[in-house]
Amino acid sequence: MRPISLTSATLGLAGVVYCACECGYVLHDTGAYFTHALANNFSTYPDATSLNTNRATSDFSRDWTVQSWSAGVGLDNPIPRRNDEANVYVQDGTLMMRQIGYTAQDRANNQSVSIAAIVSNEDDFLHGSFRTIFRVSEDRGSVGGFFWYHNDTNEIDIEVLTKEGNDTSIHYTSHPSVLSSGSVIPGASTSATLSAPWTSYQEHRFDWSRKNITFYQGGRLSHTTTLNIPQVAGSIQMNLWADGSTWSGDPSATNVTMSVRSIFIFYNTTASEAGTDKAFNKACQAAGGASNFAVCMDTDPKVKDVKGAAGLCALPGLGSLITLVVVILASLLA
């Protein structure tokens, strides 16, 4: 009888969540492994405004910052825009992002469009699985985006363009999508058809690895690309905006809302991917290592119940226990 030694593949088969996830996370559908998680289930949040400073939503401000900056006009964006903190708030268990209606009089007065954006406080996301559940109102004239960003040539986007008459169209982009000459880079941006209108809640997801980016909608594979794969770390952002450009179209004359139920991210950092994350390595070792089952599955209910990226603890279900017994016996008898 030899000592039990479970590999990452074995952990994927076990399909269990133990201890506090000190040793990372395994995706149930792809088997990919990541060291860190960021989890925001907004159904657990109270109604709140001023999210950057509100103590009632301190879990949000730990993970995210509501933006409050402005941008002027440019060659392809003839209307100025302004991110207002008041346009991001929690209501009825949902993170609300709002673009204020922009009238003909506002444009005549050269007023800025009042828009919304949040940016992760963590800017060291290097590969991962990025998911959010949201819907966008049908008011025409806004872009709802969920994306990873390092700079304009290292960016991964999921975007809804409400100007389009087709409510089941979604856009996936790995930047750069346009050359300095203005020519479009073939394959860098593509549109896909959703199984339900973007006016209804559904999960939008992209998985980013060294070799490709895979986009999902409602758990269904939608698009894969090997073009413009970033190899640097960056932040996560969500926004709702318009600036009169060819991409966004003219801003809606009525308020547009983006309602976000949750954001869940399983990811590596620059250090953890290199195996040099001292804090992660120490915590995993203290938990007994991966062979002590301190690894979580992304589907475990406990992952969905937390507000932030805190440690978790859960007991396995009966099916997982049976699988675990089989795995241990196989290891003992090998």
pLDDT tens digit sequence for 25-53: 999 999 999 999 999 999 999 999 999 99
pLDDT value of residue 20? 73
Spell out the long-range contacts of 152-161 with Cβ–Cβ below 8 A and sequence spacing 24 or more.
152/176, 153/228, 154/230, 154/232, 154/234, 155/230, 155/234, 156/206, 156/208, 156/213, 156/230, 158/204, 158/206, 158/215, 160/136, 160/198, 161/247, 161/248, 161/249
Q: In angstroms, rounded to a whole number, what is the distance separating the alpha carbons of residues 66 and 51? A: 7
Q: Is residue 173 within 8 Å of 155, Cβ to Cβ?
A: yes
Q: In angstroms, rounded to a whole number, what is the distance separating the alpha carbons of residues 256 and 116? A: 10
Question: First vs last Cα of the chain: how many Å apart?
Answer: 8
Phi, psi of 290 (to 5 degrees): -60, -30
Query: Of 234, 214, 23, nearest to 126 (Cα)?
Result: 234
Give the three-state DSSP class for 131: strand
Q: In angstroms, rounded to a whole number, what is the distance separating the alpha carbons of residues 197 and 203? A: 12
Q: What is the DSSP letter of 157?
A: E
Q: How far is CA 43 from CA 245, 259, 266, in A?
A: 35, 12, 20
Residues 218-226, mean pLDDT to the nearest whole number: 97
pLDDT value of residue 317? 42
- The answer, yes or no, to whether residue 250 has pLDDT greater than 80, is yes
How confident is residue 305, by pLDDT bands cut at 50, 70 and 90? Answer: low
Pure H helices in 44-131: 58-63, 104-108
pLDDT value of residue 150? 98
Q: In angstroms, rounded to a whole number, what is the distance separating the alpha carbons of residues 328 and 320? A: 12
Average pLDDT of the chain is 87
Query: Of 5, 6, 242, 214, nearest to 111 (Cα)?
Result: 242
Q: Which single residue is written with the structure tokens 């978790």?
A: 312
